[in-house]
Amino acid sequence: MGKGIEQFGEVLKTDVLIVGGGLAGNNAAIAACEVGAKVLIADKSSIERCGAIAGGVDHFMAYLNTDTWDTREAYLEWAGRIARGAVNLKIQNAVFCRELEAAIERMDRIGCSLRQPSGEFYRTTSFGLPGPYMINFNGKNLKPLLAKEARRLGAMTLEKCSITNLLTNGNGKVIGAVGFNIRKGNFYIILAKTTILATGNTNRIFQNPTGLPFNTWQCPANTGAAQTMAFEVGAHLANMEIVRITVVPRGFSAAGLNALTGMGGKIVNAKGEEFMFKYHPMGNKAPRYKLVEGVMREIEEGRGPVYIDCRHLSEGDMKHLKTTLGYDKDTLPDFIEQKGIDLRKDLLEIMASEGMQAGPSEICSSGIMIDEETKSTVEGLFGAGDCTDQMRCSHVCTTGGYLAGKMAAKYALTFTQEEPSVNQVKELKRKVYAPMRASGKVSQKSFEDTMRRMLWVYAGASRNEYSLNTALEKLDGLEKYFNEIKAGNYHELMRTHETRQILSVAKMMCHASLARKETRFGVFHRRTDYPETNPEFDGQIVVVNTDQGIKTFFNKLDYSTIPEP
């Protein structure tokens, strides 16, 4: 290595670096390997069981061309209504519609079919869908099966590795990344022709109603790494203002709402009233944000507790429900069993979950702004999964992740390998390990806890110009203490970098929310000083890092026509 970067750590070379081995990352690896690229996946955990569906998944959204509501055009028309102002239909067409048929076939091929043993699809309606788009399936071992296929095709892995920063050349092109082993502390310098960021959404950002910050609906290890790294190298980010909340059992954040409402579970208040039709014409099958609003309103106005009632379901439907609840992780059925609840006879008390920073719907998220080839606005950098502005949930992370791997590999094979400067690597290594030399006057836990409590009060489910500016002032004040956080070991070093990422995302979120002077997606972006939805904001708030700090601009989106196939 002529420039001497090997003196700072272990140097690895690959065509495509994938940061994050979750659902999108594994699909990206499979695609990139199939193109013929050399692939390396880096993850803080194991690619067999990491990310938001580490414990499984029970649903996959798809249109199957069986009826007028079940077509590409109908899906995109619905997407433009349900996520108007956040979803880009041209990109949704590219990352989902064009890849859907192949994705269903790929699921069959790896041994995780979306079909029932009879060969049929079991479909349900939930979350504002115009028809039963949700396919219930046994995705308990989807992650291990994807990982097996990625490894079979030749993907290499760097596990127990926290990627902290991107490497760039003199023109700002991304040429790899650096990170460290969270057990042994080894420093890695990864040179890549193209890099895909696929680290999920941002959790642990708001105060958890249970008081347990790691008791999150989504993976608590997903803390905005991709968003932060992309922002630092100048990539544009979009939809960062959105607060995502769901409905969970009281006192415990567990996935399963789609299964409960999709099978016909009713949400009722303390009087036994099925109240959701007051808030949305689709009642219990309303969009997620409307379900959250309804539950919160009933409790706030004294009609709680609120419950899910499944006692009316047939024996066959109840059997299917109990089976699929276990597919989407064991946490909810374990909770129900340990609480001594029998859904045939008992009500399940529910509440609004902790907030997280993510997208407004089941189809698009928030984060790296991607184009129809999943490229970011920075050369050499691609995005996949929930850390991007146009992918969310199992169906789009599967299709869009695969597209990202395919496109990144094709571009990689046209690039030559580049090396960063010695000074860049030296400085990044200093920053990575700086917390191990800190004073320790502030603990990582107390810093995060303080930040979470403050953000929920000033930038949570209800916001206004004054509260958001207050949040930014308090974040600036809190940041002054960040360098006092001491990491006593490499696990604590990982946690400290996660805290830095959450802090970075929180600032972007507040700036973006200030720019969106309206309420949109209900409780997911509620401005009390602008309580109505304004059609002038039918587009995205875009966040960018500049020499003058965080800046925002508006990206108008076209919903007048459906994109061509």
From start to end of 171-316, where are the E strands? 174-181, 187-197, 237-238, 243-244, 247-249, 266-268, 306-309
Gap between the Cα atoms of 388 and 360, Å rounded:
13
pLDDT for 190 equals 98
Respond yes or no on whether the N-terminal peptide bond of residue 305 is cis (omega within 30° of 0). yes
pLDDT for 324 equals 85
Gap between the Cα atoms of 427 and 478, Å rounded:
24
Beta partners for 525?
A: none
Burial class (CB in 10 A: 0-12, 13-18, 19+), 35: middle
Gap between the Cα atoms of 110 and 100, Å rounded:
16
What is the distance, to the nearest Å, from the Cα of residue 232 to the centroid of all Cα atoms in its chain? 19
pLDDT for 3 equals 64
Gap between the Cα atoms of 392 and 498, Å rounded:
21
Gap between the Cα atoms of 159 and 257, Å rounded:
32
Phi, psi (degrees; rounded to nearest 5) at 466: -65, -45
On whether the 247-352 domain is CATH 3.90.700.10, my answer is yes
Sign of the alpha-carbon torsion through 155, 159, 164, 169: negative
pLDDT tens, per residue, the chain with 565 residues: 456 999 999 999 999 999 999 999 999 999 999 999 999 999 999 999 999 999 999 999 999 999 999 999 999 999 999 999 999 999 999 999 999 999 999 999 999 999 999 999 999 999 999 999 999 999 999 999 999 999 999 999 999 999 999 999 999 999 999 999 999 999 999 999 999 999 999 999 999 999 999 999 999 999 999 999 999 999 999 999 999 999 999 989 988 888 899 899 999 999 999 999 999 999 999 999 999 999 999 999 999 999 999 999 999 999 888 888 888 888 889 999 999 999 999 999 999 999 999 999 999 999 999 999 999 999 999 999 999 999 999 999 999 999 999 999 999 999 999 999 999 999 999 999 999 999 999 999 999 999 999 999 999 999 999 999 999 999 999 999 999 999 999 999 999 999 999 999 999 999 999 999 999 999 999 999 999 999 999 999 999 999 999 999 999 999 999 999 9
Cβ neighbours around 34 below 10 Å, total? 16
pLDDT for 1 equals 42
Identify the CATH number of the domain defined by range 432-556: 1.20.58.100
Long-range contacts from 529-533, C-beta under 8 angstroms, 24+ separation = 529/464, 529/465
Domains 247-352 and 432-556 share a fold: no
Note if the pTM is more than 0.95: yes
pLDDT for 331 equals 87
For the chain, domain boundaries = 247-352, 432-556
Long-range contacts from 312-316, C-beta under 8 angstroms, 24+ separation = 312/264, 312/266, 313/263, 313/264, 313/265
Gap between the Cα atoms of 15 and 407, Å rounded:
12
DSSP assignment of 212-233, as one string? -TT--SS-TT-BSHHHHHHHHT
